[in-house]
């Protein structure tokens, strides 16, 4: 099983961000001395339509935080109307590669692959981190804020 070739891009996806027919979703994850978090934000027609962030357990790696953010973004994008393409901008190429591999050893990555396989209008695209991209910077701030939150576990 393979995703459609246009569903995954490891080239900088900055060029398509201004398109009005695309729902742009930006993800980020972080591990700092203040804590661990993941986040995504959604822009459509130049409006910030939605955002999500979470504080994660301190034992998560940076890869896991980024993968969690991407997974939540893929879940968010999957039921959106088919008339729009959802482009998920990720600043971690390893996460894109993991989510496009049906045989990944990571369970979260395999779950994402299955969702992407059934939603060909959802695309993952790499974007350079800390290059002034407003969506990437917004996701970065959301995740930094999340690391300061109090973690409740049940």
Whether residue 13 lies inside any domain: the answer is no
Flag whether 43 is in a domain.
Answer: yes
Of the chain, the percentage scoring pLDDT greater than 90 comes to 73
The answer to whether position 20 is within a domain reads no
Convert the pLDDT of each residue in 99-115 to its tens digit: 999 999 999 999 999 99
Burial letters for 71-104: b for 16+ Cβ neighbours within 10 Å, e otherwise? bbbbebbeebeeeebbbbbbbbeebbebbbbeeb
Mean pLDDT of 70-91: 91
Which two structure tokens, joined as six digits, stand for 18? 């201004």
In a domain, residue 4? The reply is: no
Residue recorded with tokens 């339509």: 49
44 or 102, greater pLDDT: 102
Average pLDDT, the chain: 91
- Confidence band for 87, pLDDT divided at 50, 70 and 90: very high
| Structural domain boundaries, residue 29 | 25-148
What pTM did the predictor assign? 0.91
Residue 2 domain-assigned (yes or no):
no
Query: What is the percentage of the chain residues whose pLDDT exceeds 70?
Result: 93
For residue 70, give the nearest of 154, 139, 148 by alpha carbon: 139
* 115: in domain: yes
Q: Is 55 within a domain?
A: yes
CATH number of the domain enclosing 97 = 3.30.420.10
Domain membership of residue 11 (yes or no) is no
CB 102 within 8 A of CB 1: yes
Q: Tally the domains of the chain.
A: 1
Q: Are strands 35-44 and 47-56 parallel, antiparallel or unpaired?
A: antiparallel
């Amino acid at each position: 099983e393979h995703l459609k070739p246009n569903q995954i891009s490891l080239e900088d996806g900055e060029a398509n961000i201004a398109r009005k027919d695309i729902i742009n979703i930006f993800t980020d994850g972080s591990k700092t001395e203040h804590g661990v978090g993941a986040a995504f934000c959604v822009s459509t027609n130049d409006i910030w339509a939605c955002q999500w962030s979470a504080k994660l357990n301190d034992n998560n790696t940076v890869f896991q935080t980024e993968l969690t953010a991407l997974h939540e973004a893929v879940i968010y994008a999957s039921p959106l109307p088919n008339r729009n393409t959802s482009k998920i901008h990720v600043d971690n190429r390893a996460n894109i590669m993991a989510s496009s591999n049906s045989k990944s050893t990571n369970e979260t990555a395999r779950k994402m692959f299955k969702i992407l396989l059934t939603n060909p209008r959802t695309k993952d695209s790499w974007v350079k981190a800390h290059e002034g991209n407003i969506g990437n910077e917004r996701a970065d701030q959301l995740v930094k804020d999340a690391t300061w939150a109090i973690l409740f576990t049940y």
